Amino acid sequence: MQTFCLEVSGDFACFTRPEMKVERVSYDVITPSAARAVFEAILWKPAIRWQVRRIEVLKPIRWINLRRNEVGGVVPAGAVKSAMKHGKGQLSLYVEEERQQRAGLFLRDVRYRLHADFEMLDNNSANNPVKFAEMFKRRASKGQCFNQPYLGTREFSCDFRLVEDAENIEIPAELQGRRELGWMLYDMDFTDANNPMPRFFQASMDDGVIQVPAWDSEEVRG
């Protein structure tokens, strides 16, 4: 199975801890679900599913406190369904009435190398894994994407490049050794589409490298 490597970087990032209900607080590093989203932004097809295998942290972990304006409400799902059914409805949301100012603890000046491969979900003759692999490499090498990849939240967009040859990485002194990162969000389980559930794993970083377990392994718990 071919593994692909992307190097991503950005000025800011926020991989929000779900236990923080009001203020946004980021995990120390990018989560597997956020890393998966970067690959899907470059190539997404119903026939494949990306699996992140390894995350390499290339810069020391730095933090910044920011206060931002956010919208505190959303258009109710019931109103949307009613408008779809009747062809009309009240779907407006006035930003000035819903504006809230919230503080957040974010990451700054981040750079990662993300290693992932994909598995085939549909193995009919038209879905050739070699075709998808070449398609991904072509798009990633040209900087093409379906939507701009981002680091946790859409306002924190990131640059990316395809790493095809093994390149030596100098690990910052601050990242050397072992660091326990605690329980980290792995991804959402959409087995029940009406009630998606989060799944977590015990993350640790050795010399800046986080090994990501397989989705169906015992290390991943819901």
Planar angle of CA 38, 24, 39, nearest 5 degrees: 5
Q: How many CB atoms lie within 10 A of CB 135?
A: 15
- As a whole-number percent, the residues of the chain with pLDDT over 90 amount to 63
pLDDT of residue 125: 62
pLDDT tens sequence across 121-131: 877 766 788 89
SS3 46: coil
Q: Is the pLDDT of residue 43 over 90?
A: yes
The whole-model pTM stands at 0.85
Burial class (CB in 10 A: 0-12, 13-18, 19+), 46: exposed
- Two tokens at 53? 């295998």
Kindly state the tokens that stand for 69: 């304006």
**N residues, the chain:** 222
Domain assignments of the chain as residue spans, ordered by start: 4-70+103-211
Locate 190 and state its tokens: 């959409």
φ, ψ at 215 (rounded to 5°): -55, -40
Domain 4-70+103-211 CATH class label = alpha beta
pLDDT on residue 91: 73
Question: For 139-185, what is each residue's pLDDT tens digit?
Answer: 999 999 999 999 999 999 999 999 988 677 788 889 999 999 999 99
Q: DSSP letter for 213, please.
A: P
Supply the pLDDT for residue 179. Answer: 95
